[in-house]
Every structure is written in structure tokens, then in C-alpha cells.
Structure 1
Amino acid sequence: MEASNSRSFWNQFTGEIPGTVGYLTHLSYLSVILSFSMNGIYHSNNLGGPTPKILIKKLQRNTFLYNSSSTGICIVTSSPEVENYINSTVKVSDHHRWVVVVIIGVSCTFAASMMLLVHWYRSRFLYNSYGGYILELQIATSNFSPRNILGHGGFGVVYKGCLPNGMFVAVKRLKDPNFTGEVQFQTEVEMIGLALHRNLLRLYGFCMTSNERLLVYPYMPNGSVAERLRDTCRDKPSLDWTRRMRIAIGVARGLLYLHEQCNPKIIHRDVKAANILLDESFEAVVGDFGLAKLLDRRDSHVTTAVRGTLGHIAPEYLSTGQSSEKTDVFGFGILLLELITGQKTLDAGNGQVQKGMILDWVRTLHDEKRLEVLVDRDLKGCFDAQELEQAVELALLCTQSLPNLRPKMSDVLKVLESIVGQSGHAEDPQNATGPCEGRSCSFSRTYSDVEGSSFIIEAIELSGPR
């Protein structure tokens, strides 16, 4: 029987309430009234006897009111069974309520603790919009003393600093006078900070004020590739052939990560030996990535600077200001030639080649099968001829004038790994010592210098955003 509503008017009910009423699972409204209905309450009836327990669960408080029977539960007040059931339900509800309150309290406390922890972590060192911790960096660098300068570049000056905990850092003091807004700067810097890879220079943090922008990086004790290529000691080059090939692979891996694994992707725009640092294991670490975009003026219809180093800038970037992954591929090709020749792209080194014409010089030597002329004299003939030929061909492929003719960094990396793999060189850069390895040399630990600095080409009008 499926009854959902039951009304009985002007009846003289007596006796016990049948237990079967409790099995009416669809019963939601029951009115047994002598004279008038009062919201489904058993009112003014001669009902008596115990209320079936199964029915109690379906009844509300004060269900039995003003019944003439003096026996059982059908009296003026609610029944004990109903009261007991209600009381037990209230206790359970109260218990559940306290459990919910405790859970919510713990969750809120945990969330608040995490927010405070994140705020402390960011404000302690990584970020303080009011420059509260710039004093710490001023002390670390002896107030940006010239004695602590590690290098100059197109983006600013790099200082060596020592924090109170004894950790050495490199502090880049950006010099662009047209700073972006604080929110925009923070967004861009945090994007750079998300790029974590063995071959990318990790951003420790940053500080900014109305007239200062400071980026904090780990200090690289072995300096830059540019410094190492120029540093020799009697019978030994600072970087032997094997290490140079390992450096090329490390740079390719770092650029590949920026191009294909960062979202949004990051275009370096200034790949050169001065921006490649060496860690304690002589592993290549790509620095200064993301800074070109960070310091650009963002308005789409105003003059925008082309940032890069003469000789490393891809033709399409120089002429249109539009950069892409292929812009970095071009720069990598020039870097590979730097590793082979040990010379800057602005000077082929033999006095017979006009500055800035290194690509034409390399192509000529390649066609004439005289690639040994390219090799850094400091290597004193200690190189692999097969690797040399393949590396030069890869460099020429990367520096094609049309960007669509250049390979992707993923293809570049595969070729480099194949070249090194054929010769059986050790994977560990600490063990990558060539046949002419000799005693160690001392060198000046600077990251770059004025000669290798990036420059900015102004007044290139762009029709839209890059």
C-alpha cells in the first residue's frame, strides 16, 4: 500500500495505533482530527496504547496532543519514545555538528598556515614590493661596490654578494630606465622563476622599488664560457675539446626546455658565450633567459628595442624585431662556432677577415676542406676531426638566413648527442678530459665584460606585438 497523505476527520478513534502504519514507507502526512486539523497532529482523539517504534521515527515532536486517554503515550505531552528518539537524534546531530566544526576549523587553520608560510617565504627574500630587503642585498654587495662587479651586460651590471648565512650570490642590477609596472614585473619574473632545469640558471629571487630592479642568482665559481675560452695556461687550454662539446649539449638542452617545456615558451634572444655559465662540475648553465621580454616596452604601437649581441642576432630579428625559437637556433649556431674557434664573432682572428663576417669565412673553409684552420689554436691540435666536421655543418645549418630552413632545438640536440656518442666521450663532464689535459690554471672569475656585452638597437617600428 502506497499512501502518502492520510486525513481522518470527526472520528472517535480508540484503542492502539496499529504497528502496520509504520510500514507505510511513503507516508509523509497523517491527520487524525476530531474537530479540526492542526498540521498533521493527532488532536482531540481517544487514542491510547504505545506508539509503534517504527512509527516513532516518522513522527515529529508534539505529535500527540490533547488526547483523552490517560494510558500509554497518548496524553497531553509528547511520548517518552518520541522524546527519547528526539533526544538521541539531537545528541547524534550535535556530535556530527561538532565533528564538522572541528574539521572546518582544522582546515581553515591549515589553509591560513600555508598562506602565512607562502607570504613569509616570498617576503623574506624572494619578493618585497616596498624594497624592505634591498638593504640586505646592498650589504651583501658592499653597497654595489665596483670591486664586486662580476660583469657588465646589456641588461645591467652583475655583482658578487655574500648573504648573512655565508651563501654567495650573483645580484643583477637592471639598468633599463623604462621599468615596467610592479605587477607586470612580478608576473614576468615569477614566470622566469618557474623555469627549472639543470642547464638553466635558477632565479633565487628578486627585489624591487620604484627605481630599482634586482635579480638574485646563484654564484657560478667557474665563470662564463667567454672567460674560459680566453683563459689559457701554458700547455693547457681552459676548455678542452671534449668539454666544449659537452657545453654545446648542455646549452641545447637548456634552450630546448625553454622552447618546448615552458608554458608560455621563453625565447632567449641573446645566446652567446658570455651568457653561458659553468657550475662547479663545468656543466653549462644558460643565463639571462627571459630578460629581453622582461625589459621590453609592451605597447604594441611604439618603438621597441631589439636586444642582442652583434654577430649573434638572427637576420629576421634584426630587420623586423620579431623573434621566435629559430632566433635562438641562429644564436646557438654562432655559439657553436665560438666554441670551435675560441674567438668572438666580431673578430675572426686571422686579420684577413672583416669583422662580423665569420659565417662567410666558415663557409669558405668548409667548401675548401680546410676546417682545421677554424680550430682554436689553444687546443694545439687536440680535437676530433670527424666531430669538427659534423659540428661545423650543424652550425652552418643553424645559421641559415631563412628561419624555416633552420632545425628545431630538439633536432639540434639529437645531432649533438649523436656526434658525441660516436666518439665515446664520457657523459660526466668532470671526467670529460681530452688527450691534451694538463695541469689546472687560474683565471679571473667574471661572467662577462664590456666587449661581450649585449647592445640595444632602437627605433625599429613594429606594427604589432611580438
Structure 2
Amino acid sequence: MDVNATTIVPAGPPKHHSSFTQHHLHSQKNNHSSHGHFPSKTILITIALVTLVTVLFIIFLVFFLIRRLKSSTKDGTCEEDSRELHDTSSRLITPTTVNSSPDVKSGCLHGGNLSRTPAPKFRGVQVFTYRELEIATDGFNEANVIGSNGGHGLMYRGVLKDGTLAAIKLLRSEGKQGERAFRTEVDLLSRLCSPYLVELLGYCADQHHRLLIFEYLPNGTLHYQLHSPNDEPQPLDWWARMRIALDCARALEFLHEYAVSPVIHRDFKSNNVLLDQNFRAKVSDFALAKMGSEKRNGQVSTRVLGTTGYLAPEYATGKLTTKSDVYSYGVVLLELLTGRVPVDIKRAPGEHVLVSWALPRLTNREKVIEMVDPALRGQYSKKDLIQIAAIAAMCIQPEADYRPLMTDVVQSLIPLVRSQSSLCSSSSLRFLKQRPSPRH
């Protein structure tokens, strides 16, 4: 008997197989999606790290710059005083390139024991009428004459309307040359401000009148203090002379090194050095001043103007530099050392011209001692005397190239004046203790 065996074929795949397939496909889809998002996360993380590093670097850079600025400011303050206080060497002129005028550094006008009367606050140059100055001088009364400017005019003592005591220079009319000198002095002094230069308070250009108004310095000129024939002023002692020498050197240093353009004074002499109540020196009279070249030792052409005995040899060629002022400074230094005038025909033959007589003696110790002003009565330091003689010898060299810069002169004088300052401070204290009270 045949058996009809019917094979039953399922209508579809088993149910669990379908679930497996769906699960497999879903897993593949998720894996594919996961792989697609991975690069985006990496980029975001990288950008975040780079940004963080950049911000940290900027913060560090700003912090570093602030620290450096504070450090440089602290180290730069009064750098000159620090250098001077530690400079105890007794060197002569050296080719230093120190560029630190006390007039222009931050707050370092007067350092250590070299303090002077503070410079008056610069008020600006005022314009006066002739009538105002006529009233100030009591009609230009002869009793108020305090000096003359050669043949160029007279200097009067006057009281301005605000009560300020002033020195009023009445200039004589000299045509175009006088007008040029007047304008030069007003222009220069209205722009130059230093405690070592006489301050210009104002001027008058009323019609044909030309006047200059300066701060009043009660002790007159250095020439008067050194060479007055009637022995009216007390002789300047060694300490006062050294301070005056340094003040003058600082004035010329300022003109040569720290003015906007180098200024050649052209008429530096003891008559143009004025002394305040403390016998501190200020340089005056810029009528002949000339702007120099911006180049080191640059020459300018000029006519022969100035005062006999102070003129450098190169004046004969009409080619001047700042070294020409250095020569004139050397002559004034000789005046302080010897008490002699630059030219004196009353002296013995061979001694008429101070520079010619002094130059060969300045390098001989015995002869230098013989040259010293008798008015000092031996009250000076021989060691300092030798130093001053060496500086003077360098300044009055016939060849301009062998003369030092005024910056070098200043740096050479500072140790000498500082040592004298400490000695005089102690002696002044002893003097004050022994001095009787003044009578009223």
C-alpha cells in the first residue's frame, strides 16, 4: 500500500530567525552611526585643547610683560645716583659714554650729598611792557644797576608786579645784529630748562625797546667773586670752587648732550657764571649761542665772536664744535684754581696769558702747588688739586680732538665733590655748635 507522505513546508522562516536578522541589521546600523560620529568628537576635543593652550600662553605672555615693565621701571629709577654713589675711584678723564644727565632723568636732579636749592618751578616765559619794567626798576634808576653786559647794555635789579625779584637786562639798540642776538636768547632759553641755567622769566619787545627778565641771583658773577679788586666779597673756599666747577660742567653737558639739538654757548666765561644765595652756579648769557651739528664733534661755521682769553684756537678758522666750549671751561677752571684772570698785561713777561703760562705747569706737582690762589691759604686737598689740574690740562689742549666731552668732565668731578661734601658736612656741624647766636 502506497503511503502518500506529505511534507509540510513552513510558510516562512522561523520567528526567532526574523528577530535575529532585525537585531543584526540594527547593530550594524548603530555601529555605522557610531563610526560616523567619532571624527567629529576628535576635532572638537582638538579645537578645545588648542584654544586652552592659546589662552594660557596669552595670559603668561601678558604676565611676563607686566613683570618686566615693573622691573625695568624700578631698576631705571635714579640709576645715576646708584652709579655715582658706588664710583669711589679717583680716576681722571676717561672715555666714558655715560648718558645720564641729572637734569633729564626721572627724579634724579640732585643726588646724594650734592643737593642744591631746588630749581624754581618753570612758569613759562612772560611778555612785559616797557612801562611795567620801568616801574619795576624805579625808572631804571642808577641805584638799581647790578652789572653791565659789556657794551651791549646794563643789568638792573627790579621787583615785578607779583613781588618777584628779578634781574632785568636793558639791551642797547644794535641794529640787525642786536635784534638777532635778542631773538636767539629768547628762543633758546624759552625752550631750555635746567637748574644749571639761569631761568628766563620773560622779555619785552615794546616798540624799539628790547629787554630780558631773568631770575635774580644775589651773589653776582663768578668773575666778581674771584677778581674783585676791593676785596669786598669773602674769598671762595676750595669746597665752593669745586661745587661751582661741577655746576658749570653740568650746565655745558646739558647744552651739548641733552638739548634737542647740541648748543654751543660760544661765550662761556666767569662773567657769565652767576651764583645764587648758596654759591651754586648757573650759566647765563646766550646771545652768542649757536646750534651745533647733530653729529658727534660736528662743526659749525661762525665769525670770531667771544671774549679774549677764553677763545679756543680753532676760532681762528671759524670752525667750532662743542669742544670749543670745553676749552673755555678749562680756562674758567684755571681761574678757580689760580685766582688769575685769563689775560693780565700787568703780570711779568710770560705770564700775561693764563693758558700759556699754566699749561706746562699743570703736570708738575710742585709747580701746581705754586699756582694755587693765595686767597685759599693752603686750605685745600692736594690730592684733589692734582686731579683738578689734570682735568684743566685736558680741557685746554690746543687740538680739539684731545679735549674730553663735558660728560667725561662731570663724571670725573663727581667723586671729588662728593668726598669734599662729606668732609664739609662734619666741619659745618662743629662750626654751628661753636658759633654764637646772631644779635637782633
TM over 0.5: yes
- Whether 1:322 aligns to 2:319 is yes
Which of 252, 257, 262 is matched with 2:259 structurally? 262
Q: Which residue of 2 aligns with 1:204?
A: 201
Deviation at 1:152, TM superposition (A): 1.5
Q: Which residue of 2 aligns with 1:136?
A: 132
Residues in 2 aligned to 1:260 and 1:159: alpha-carbon distance in whole angstroms: 32
Residues in 2 aligned to 1:348 and 1:418: alpha-carbon distance in whole angstroms: 36
Which of 164, 168, 171 is matched with 1:171 structurally? 168
Deviation at 1:273, TM superposition (A): 1.2
Q: 1:346 to 1:183 in 2, by over 3 A?
A: closer
Q: 1:361 to 1:293 in 2, by over 3 A?
A: closer
> 2:225 touches 2:235 (CA, 8 Å); kept in 1?
yes
Q: 1:183 to 1:327 in 2, by over 3 A?
A: closer
Alignment of 1:102-113 (within 5 A): none
Deviation at 1:428, TM superposition (A): 11
Which of 339, 342, 356 is matched with 1:342 structurally? 339
Q: Which residue of 2 aligns with 1:365?
A: 361
Q: Which residue of 2 aligns with 1:21?
A: none
Residues in 2 aligned to 1:176 and 1:265: alpha-carbon distance in whole angstroms: 29
> 1:140 touches 1:161 (CA, 8 Å); kept in 2?
yes
Residues in 2 aligned to 1:219 and 1:384: alpha-carbon distance in whole angstroms: 33
**Identity value in percent:** 34
Alignment of 1:347-426 (within 5 A): 347=344, 351-356=348-353, 358-368=354-364, 369-421=366-418, 424-426=419-421
Which of 150, 159, 162 is matched with 1:162 structurally? 159
Q: 1:219 to 1:188 in 2, by over 3 A?
A: closer
Q: Which residue of 1 aligns with 2:143?
A: 147
Q: 1:152 to 1:235 in 2, by over 3 A?
A: closer
Unaligned runs of 5+ in 1: 1-120, 295-302, 440-466
Alignment of 1:230-269 (within 5 A): 230=227, 237-269=234-266
The TM-score normalised by the length of structure 2 is 0.61
Residues in 2 aligned to 1:237 and 1:372: alpha-carbon distance in whole angstroms: 22
Residues in 1 aligned to 2:305 and 2:333: alpha-carbon distance in whole angstroms: 20
Deviation at 1:251, TM superposition (A): 0.5
SS at structure 2 position matched to 1:340: helix
Q: Which residue of 2 aligns with 1:286?
A: 283
> 1:271 touches 1:312 (CA, 8 Å); kept in 2?
yes
Which of 193, 218, 222 is matched with 2:219 structurally? 222
Q: 1:236 to 1:328 in 2, by over 3 A?
A: closer
Deviation at 1:229, TM superposition (A): 1.4
Residues in 2 aligned to 1:238 and 1:198: alpha-carbon distance in whole angstroms: 24
Comparing 378-387 and 235-244, the one that deviates more = 235-244
Residues in 2 aligned to 1:430 and 1:217: alpha-carbon distance in whole angstroms: 32
Deviation at 1:179, TM superposition (A): 3.4
Unaligned runs of 5+ in 2: 1-122, 291-300, 436-440
> 1:201 touches 1:217 (CA, 8 Å); kept in 2?
yes
Alignment of 1:104-123 (within 5 A): none
Q: Which residue of 1 aligns with 2:309?
A: 311
Deviation at 1:349, TM superposition (A): 7.3
SS at structure 1 position matched to 2:157: strand
Q: 1:253 to 1:305 in 2, by over 3 A?
A: same
> 1:236 touches 1:379 (CA, 8 Å); kept in 2?
no
> 1:240 touches 1:433 (CA, 8 Å); kept in 2?
no
Alignment of 1:65-104 (within 5 A): none
Residues in 2 aligned to 1:397 and 1:182: alpha-carbon distance in whole angstroms: 37
> 1:243 touches 1:429 (CA, 8 Å); kept in 2?
no
Deviation at 1:248, TM superposition (A): 0.3
Amino acid in the other structure paired with 1:178: G
Deviation at 1:387, TM superposition (A): 1.0
> 1:312 touches 1:331 (CA, 8 Å); kept in 2?
yes
> 1:281 touches 1:430 (CA, 8 Å); kept in 2?
no
Comparing 240-249 and 209-218, the one that deviates more = 209-218
Q: Which residue of 1 aligns with 2:63?
A: none
Residues in 2 aligned to 1:270 and 1:243: alpha-carbon distance in whole angstroms: 23
Amino acid in the other structure paired with 1:162: V
Q: 1:286 to 1:187 in 2, by over 3 A?
A: closer
> 2:159 touches 2:166 (CA, 8 Å); kept in 1?
yes
Residues in 2 aligned to 1:251 and 1:149: alpha-carbon distance in whole angstroms: 25
Q: Which residue of 2 aligns with 1:116?
A: none
Deviations 1:138-162 (A, max 9, x none): 1212332332221122443211112
SS at structure 2 position matched to 1:389: helix
Deviation at 1:350, TM superposition (A): 5.2
Deviation at 1:425, TM superposition (A): 1.5
RMSD (Å) for aligned C-alpha atoms: 3.6
SS at structure 2 position matched to 1:347: coil
Deviations 1:269-305 (A, max 9, x none): 11111111111222111111x31148xxxxxxxx975
SS at structure 1 position matched to 2:214: strand
Amino acid in the other structure paired with 2:319: Q
SS at structure 1 position matched to 2:378: coil
Deviation at 1:345, TM superposition (A): 0.9
Residues in 2 aligned to 1:156 and 1:429: alpha-carbon distance in whole angstroms: 39
Amino acid in the other structure paired with 2:421: A
Amino acid in the other structure paired with 1:419: L
SS at structure 2 position matched to 1:400: coil
Residues in 1 aligned to 2:431 and 2:343: alpha-carbon distance in whole angstroms: 28
